Amino acid sequence: MDRVVDLDEAAVVLARRAPGWASAGLVVARATWRDAEAPWPQPLSTDRDRVRDPDSLGLVLSGPADAVLSVVLFRGGWADVDFVVDLDDAGCLPASGITSASDFGVRVDQWVARVFGGPGPEASSAS
């Protein structure tokens, strides 16, 4: 897989936003990492030091009324983005062509605003 996005830089982008999300009432789960060198099935780890060659970085945010946003960024420049706002508003969001950690940050802000109604832009000041 091509290395388009530096996942360590993307983790810093997420870490800078986490306090804003928490102050907006969101629960920020620990980031998960997947190691490209691990044998199949590749386990997820919350300890970056245990991952030699990261190929994905995951994030789960939970909010009011059981709303959830799950994002898995792949170093190749795309993400799997799933969300549940309520029983009538759930699905996947488009997430391809991500070119950098800062581009990922802009998109995360948009996804957070879509799912939770606004904490993304407030947290983005920590870019």
| Number of domain units in the chain | 1
Please check the confidence at residue 127 and state whether its pLDDT lies above 50. Answer: no
| pLDDT score at 109 | 96
Q: What angle do CA 72, 11, 125 make, to 5 degrees?
A: 105
- Domain containing 21 equals 7-126
Q: What is the pLDDT of residues 3-46, one digit of tens each?
A: 999 999 999 999 999 999 999 999 999 999 999 999 999 999 99
Which of 37-57 are b and which e, b meaning 16 or more Cβ less than 10 Å from the residue's Cβ?
A: ebeeeeeebeeeeebeebbbb
39 lies in a domain? yes
1 lies in a domain? no
2 lies in a domain? no
Residues 6+ apart with CB under 8 A from 31: 11, 14, 46, 48, 57, 58, 59
Model-level pTM? 0.90
With pLDDT > 70 as the criterion, what percentage of the chain qualifies? 91
Q: What angle do CA 48, 79, 96 make, to 5 degrees?
A: 140
| Cα dihedral value 70, 83, 81, 49, nearest 10 | 0
Q: Is 55 within 8 Å of 85 (Cβ atoms)? A: no
52 lies in a domain? yes
| pLDDT score at 72 | 98
Position 4: which residue type?
V
**DSSP one-letter code for 64:** G
60 lies in a domain? yes
List the beta bridge partners of residue 99. none
